[in-house]
Chain A
Amino acid sequence: MADDVFILGRRCLNALEHFGEAMMLLARIFRAFPMIVRSFRLIFNQMMEIGIRSLPLVFITSVFTGAVTAWQAEYQMKEYVPMIFLGTGVSKAVFIELGPALTALVVAGRVGSSIAAELGTMQVTEQIDALETLAIDPVRFLALPRFVAGLIMLPILVIFADFFAMAGAVVVATQLLSITTATFWEGVKIFFHVLDVMAGLVKAVAFGGIIAFMGCYFGFTTRGGAEGVGKSTIKAVVFSSVLILITDYLIATLLFRV
């Protein structure tokens, strides 16, 4: 019994310590922000890596998300709801929720893991130490570009995802569900609010930050060779996915007050 309490206590302390360390890294990243101008080339490289190279994955994910949303919506609505509202339902779901959340989750799998693995390998092979000996701050040189690129590229990916998903939905609606293109777009337009799309993009900025930051944090704190790199990679993906879902909820409660 006493042992259990002891172990629980130590777990809590550990978690607190991690949280503290993470906050310190975040503070150091923000303090490095004035160096953005000087790090433009590094940021650009990361934007390519995080953004452009994720496009094929985002394309596949969102086309099918849009397609299945249209299909399922039709199944639920037929006989109760006029089909003009199909476009409304699908577009709302995509812009507010599916576009940002699903994009973030698949990008967390692709980019979060690769950041953690890359920085983790650099940590265990002393490359991070080597940067320090060259008087280069690893936070500025490695974390800042990835973080900024995450903030910028996730919303851009989400805009693409929104387009792809709507395209997928239109194809399913018009080709398989015998709804006319005009009816579909009419439905999209009736209740269209710019706020919906903006809310999705605000979420995307937060998700981009979370993905890059978790990758950097678990990368920098990697210990113990190849095994440690593997563990960091898993943690980066798991923690960013969970944080994305929690943040999604929190932002929704803030932006959509009744």
Chain B
Amino acid sequence: MIDIVHVKKSFHGVQVLGDVNLRIKRGQATVIIGRSGCGKSVLLKHIIGLLRPDSGEINIDGHDITSFSKRELFELRKRFGMLFQGAALFDSMSVGENVGLGLREHTDLTDVEIAAKVRQRLKEVGLPGIEEKRVAELSGGMKKRVGLARALAMDPDFVLFDEPTTGLDPIMADTINELICALNRKTSETIIVVTHDIVSAYKIGDHIAMLYEGQIIFNGTPEETKHTENPIVRQFITGSSEGPIQAL
């Protein structure tokens, strides 16, 4: 279980997270929506310990990771997988090396076993047989999917996806959504997805949470989200420029 309690974070005096409270139960998929620049990526980086909050707690299975040492964080991260918004693939390595790096560093698997796992992961994201390609040769959407394969390579308990379907064509986007749902159903991983795509949000999410002005202002099931009276959420999900959120 991930339990975020009163998390605050400012950069150079500008507050990004005001008072974030969010609880994600084991095996559930939560989608975080919110406007561009509202701090969704920052929130994800807090959950995996890349950023430390100015105050507040981030409890993972009952342990407050904000007081973890570097070593404890590295131990914990073996149970995490993360897809970055910009994929953040290692461009000095091939695609296969990217996906297999965690396995190579943390397991005793042989090269052959690692290669087999890498092949399987790449097939799942619709990119079979591109192990030998260099990262620079990939399109934006392909990078995203390789990033996804890398995040899943270690069979993590918790997966954080920062905009997994942005930049993909609608068919591929749906395929990736299916993959994420399957993760959730088959292996009951705890999933957090940041997305701007409302269709994906309804499809993937057990819960949908909205981050607005540094706080989680709404957290409900997709059904509740569709019928909410909250004017901010309504405006966001209908994608209207009219309403309480000022577009400019």
Contacts and interface: CB of A to CB of B under 8 A. Distances in A.
Interface of A: 118, 121-122, 125-127, 129-137, 141
A121 B90 CA distance: 10
Given A134-B77, A135-B75, A135-B77, A129 B84 contact: yes
Interface string B40-76: 0000010011100000000000000000001000110
12 contacts: A126-B88, A129-B88, A130-B84, A130-B88, A132-B50, A132-B74, A132-B77, A133-B77, A134-B101, A134-B150, A134-B154, A135-B74
The 9 A-B pairs at the shortest CB distance, nearest first, are namely A130-B88, A126-B88, A135-B77, A133-B82, A135-B78, A134-B102, A135-B74, A127-B88, A129-B50
Interface string B209-236: 0000000000000000000000000000
A127 B106 contact: no
B149 to A, nearest CB: 13
Chain A contact residues, majority secondary structure: helix
A129 B86 CA distance: 12
Could you say which interface size class chain B belongs to? 20 to 34
A118 B82 CA distance: 23
A131 B102 CA distance: 9
Given A129-B50, A137-B70, 14 more contacts: A125-B86, A125-B88, A126-B88, A130-B88, A132-B50, A132-B74, A134-B77, A134-B105, A135-B75, A135-B77, A135-B105, A136-B74, A136-B101, A136-B105
B80 interface: yes
A163 B86 CA distance: 49
A126 B86 contact: yes
Contacts of B86: 125-126
B101 to A, nearest CB: 6
Contacts of A127: 88-91
B92 to A, nearest CB: 7
Contacts of B84: 126, 129-130
Nearest to A130: B88
A108 B150 CA distance: 35
Interface of B: 45, 48-50, 70, 74-75, 77-78, 80-82, 84, 86, 88-92, 101-102, 105-106, 150, 154
Contacts of B92: 118
Contacts of B50: 129, 132-133
A133 B80 contact: yes
B119 to A, nearest CB: 19
A128 to B, nearest CB: 9
A192 B235 CA distance: 85
B99 to A, nearest CB: 11
Nearest to A121: B91
Contacts of B78: 135
A118 B90 CA distance: 11
Contact of B45 (A125, A129, A135): A129
Contacts of B154: 134
Contacts of A133: 48, 50, 77, 80-82
Nearest to B101: A134
Contacts of B150: 134
Scoring A118, A122, A136 by chain B CB atoms within 10 A of each residue's CB, the highest score goes to A136
Nearest to B98: A130
Nearest to B74: A135
Contact of A130 (B74, B75, B90): B90
A127 B102 CA distance: 14
A80 B77 CA distance: 72
A125 B143 CA distance: 13
A134 B102 CA distance: 6
A97 B80 CA distance: 52
